[in-house]
Amino acid sequence: MPELPDPTHETYYSAAVNEALDEELARDPAVVLLGEDIGVYGGAFGVTRGLFQKYGPERLWETPISENSVVGMAVGAATLGLRPVVEIMFMDFIALTLDQILNSAGKLHYMYNGQVTVPMVLRTPGGAKGGYGPSHSQMLTNLLVGIPGIKVVAPATPAAAKALLKSAIRDPNPVVFIENKRLYPRRGPVSGPDFVQPLECAEIAAPGSDLTLIAYSAMVPLALEVKKGFAAEGGADIEVVDLVSLQPLDTDTVFESVRRTGRVLIVEEACRTGGVGAEVAARIAAECLDVLEAPVLRVAAADTPIPSSMDLEKIVLPGIPDIVRGVHELMAW
């Protein structure tokens, strides 16, 4: 892992998000939190725990179950200078908010020719956690990366979650901040209140020389595990690139890695068709054909809804064996 400047302590991913919210609420009175059950309950996944007690109903606004209007309200409030942070309980529910994300959040700054900015954040946990079923499990990045005017980030570590959420809140643009239910209980070092991280940068999560394994969100820890496995067996030396930012894409970091390794495997929790992986593959094909020693391959979720049964869920989602198979296939080319 890249070295974290000034790590002050270790904590859970969910607590790192909480720290970022806490510190930004304390720093800037324009920051307000909106969402369902974010008050005394502390959010469906406990991410806002303690903040209502600390900041009160003036800063944390518990909303009715009206996702589209709540996101639209965040847009309106942002145009007048507030910095709303909306929690959407499960990423599947962003379907209810897409009109306001697409037609308001992403367009207002452009279509009103810069007269307004929309500094808001939409936080939502994506991904499957085992058994949540079709309406509470999807990683819907495919829907978001085709929307101009919004930024999309999907941090994989507690450190990135904290530093990037702070940046997202301070950014003048609408940011969709994708958390992950599988990442919430993971622990790692985090920095203090002054450290922020640029939103648009991918990261080399672990260096290597034979193959570039590109991942984001909960697929990053899987990728790192696969790297470790190959290293232990004296197999391929894998470089893991954590995309971090899905819109815009940091293609410089990706291309640089591909130029070093010549082999690319992209792994994502979203459906295979028409998503981040497809976009990254297309850009690599256009820019790096001269160095590729094998076709760009992808490991992704099947193009199905996520089934409820945990056994079925495992079949649909990408797992370590799928990634290992992909690495073998590329190395054999």
Partner 1 sequence: MEPKPIDLLLDCFRKMLLIRRFEETLSDLFERGALGGTSHFCIGQEACAVGVISAAADTDYIVSNHRGHGHLLARGLDPVRVFGELMGRTIGYCGGRGGSQHMCAMDHSFLGTNGITGGGIPVATGAAFALKYRKESRLVLAFFGDGAANQGTFHESLNIASLWKLPVLYVCENNRYGMSVPVSASTSCLPIAKRAAAYSMRGVTADGMDLLAVRRVAAECIAHVRSGAGPVLLELETYRFCGHSKNDPRVYRSREEEARWAERDCIVLLGKRLREEFGISPDRLESIRTEVDAEVEQAVAEAQAAPSGDDRCALGGVYA
Using CB under 8 A as the criterion, which residues of the chain lie in contact with partner 1 when the complex forms? Answer: 32, 58, 61, 63-64, 66, 68-82, 84, 99-100, 103-104, 107-119, 148-149, 151, 172-173
| Nearer Cβ to partner 1 (35/326) | 35
Residue type, 65: I
**Please, what is the minimum distance in Å from the beta carbon of residue 244 to partner 1?**
17
How many other C-beta atoms lie within 10 A of the C-beta of residue 282?
Answer: 11
| Residue 20 to residue 271: CA distance in whole angstroms | 30
Catalytic residue among 67, 268, 269, 313: 67
**Please, what is the minimum distance in Å from the beta carbon of residue 100 to partner 1?**
7
Active site residue 67: yes
**Please, what is the minimum distance in Å from the beta carbon of residue 35 to partner 1?**
13
- Lookup: tokens for 269: 């929790």
**Please, what is the minimum distance in Å from the beta carbon of residue 110 to partner 1?**
5
Burial class (CB in 10 A: 0-12, 13-18, 19+), 166: buried
Provide the Cα torsion 143, 20, 158, 181; round to 10°: -50
At a CB cut-off of 8 Å and minimum separation 6, what does 19 contact?
11, 162, 190
| Residue 201 to residue 242: CA distance in whole angstroms | 9
| Residue 275 to residue 319: CA distance in whole angstroms | 18
At a CB cut-off of 8 Å and minimum separation 6, what does 126 contact?
91, 138, 139, 140, 141, 154, 178, 179, 180, 181, 217, 269
**Please, what is the minimum distance in Å from the beta carbon of residue 85 to partner 1?**
13
Catalytic residue among 19, 23, 87, 136: 136
Active site residue 109: no
Q: Which residues are catalytic?
A: 67, 136
